[in-house]
Structure 1
């Protein structure tokens, strides 16, 4: 249940890479005389950079495969790797929509919620990666443990953010934490733990939705192939 056309996959990934790069440049102010370097401390920007690297790498692999294997077929550095990247940016989208927008949270370098800049890094980039997975990645490679493993990515960020803030790091405007739900002074230790546990459960649940879709589409593809073989026989 994926499109086996490498030229189309390359074109999509090239355009997606450009769009993601524009989002990163806008939210960080890279095109301005005074970039907001503190933006790179946020999971939003880090996950977008991860998506940019992955999409560019995928485009390179696609070109290589076109040269060595032909124009027909699938190309990806890793189907399971795409799952990790997709989940990382899904975390960005879901936390933005569920947690940050209600707070009217503004990240340094970004403008108000649902502005073009915010949409590029919080919504458009995630959609581009999810669509790439749906259209161009062979299904059936995700393992049952993967949604749990995917949760490691935001936890690594949590460790970084809490450590950086505890050592006196500034996330902008004197803030010692990057996101409101991580603020112990405002929410209390129990409140922060409750937020993290709740978000972990929600994100793992979303991961298993991806797992079910992955294997469901794989089974449909197998049935389609079996039907073609039966008809040919």
Structure 2
């Protein structure tokens, strides 16, 4: 097993552990959080990359997989940025300084970002890929709003609100305010996606195709 595979296996285990701790503490309602969904995608991806390299060879030879990996990387990048700069200031000390919180909000995101920057080959993406990458967070926002408006499945940590995040809470804000939040986050996300697109032209392993 290569060092890259060992790294990914360790990060996959960290991600799985973090999500397991979250679900054990707060129940399946945690699956309605973007953080949990993005972390599940990340640890499942890490395990798949380990399998793919063992069975199929170096994943740097598969541009389609690298393009999908870019989407995964940006999805978890949004997790760490929104949490650290928007949500963490509102979190209690006890809920911030614990292993499960650091596993899902910092270790898994940073692990995936480092993996993509260092291990993936340069010039992995196409110009339109960042636009496609926005579909995941936009899809999540639609899902979260549908739950809040129609399904109303209870969400841990939100009192009686069926909306997982304050900036999506239509019980607290009107449609224009929530729409503005979504638009700003989407534009910021798209900017970050194109930053990754540009950075990967200069950072990473030499092209092998």
Same-fold call, TM > 0.5? yes
Contact (CA 8 Å) 1:96, 1:122: kept in 2 or not?
Answer: yes
Which one of the candidate residues 3, 13, 17 is aligned to 1:18?
A: 13
TM-score between the two structures when normalised by the length of structure 1: 0.79
| Contact preservation (8 Å) 1:61, 1:75 | no
Post-superposition offset of 1:105? 7.5
SS at match of 1:141: coil
RMSD of aligned residue pairs (Cα, Å) = 2.5
**2:198 is aligned with 1:207:** no
Say whether the 8 Å CA contact 2:66–2:124 is kept in structure 1: yes
- Structure label with greater radius of gyration: 1
Structure-2 residue corresponding to 1:118: 101
Instruction: Give the Cα separation in 1 of the matches to 2:182 and 2:123.
Output: 30
1:18-72 deviation digits (Å, cap 9, x = unpaired): 111111111111xx7xx61111111111111101111100000111246xx8xxx
1:75·1:137 contact (CA, 8 Å) conserved in 2? no
Structure 2 unaligned spans of 5+: none
The answer to whether residue 179 in structure 2 is matched with residue 193 in structure 1 is: yes
Please name the residue that 2:120 is paired with. 137
Q: Are the counterparts in 2 of residues 147 and 208 from structure 1 also a CA contact under 8 Å?
A: yes
Shift >6 Å, 4+ stretches? none
Contact 1:79-1:141 at 8 Å conserved across structures: yes
Matches within 5 A, 1:1-233: 7-29=2-24, 36-65=27-56, 74=60, 78-104=65-91, 112-167=95-150, 168-172=152-156, 173-217=159-203, 221=206
Corresponding residue SS for 1:206: helix
Is there any run of 5+ residues in structure 1 with no aligned partner, and where?
1-5, 226-233
Give the aligned length.
Answer: 204
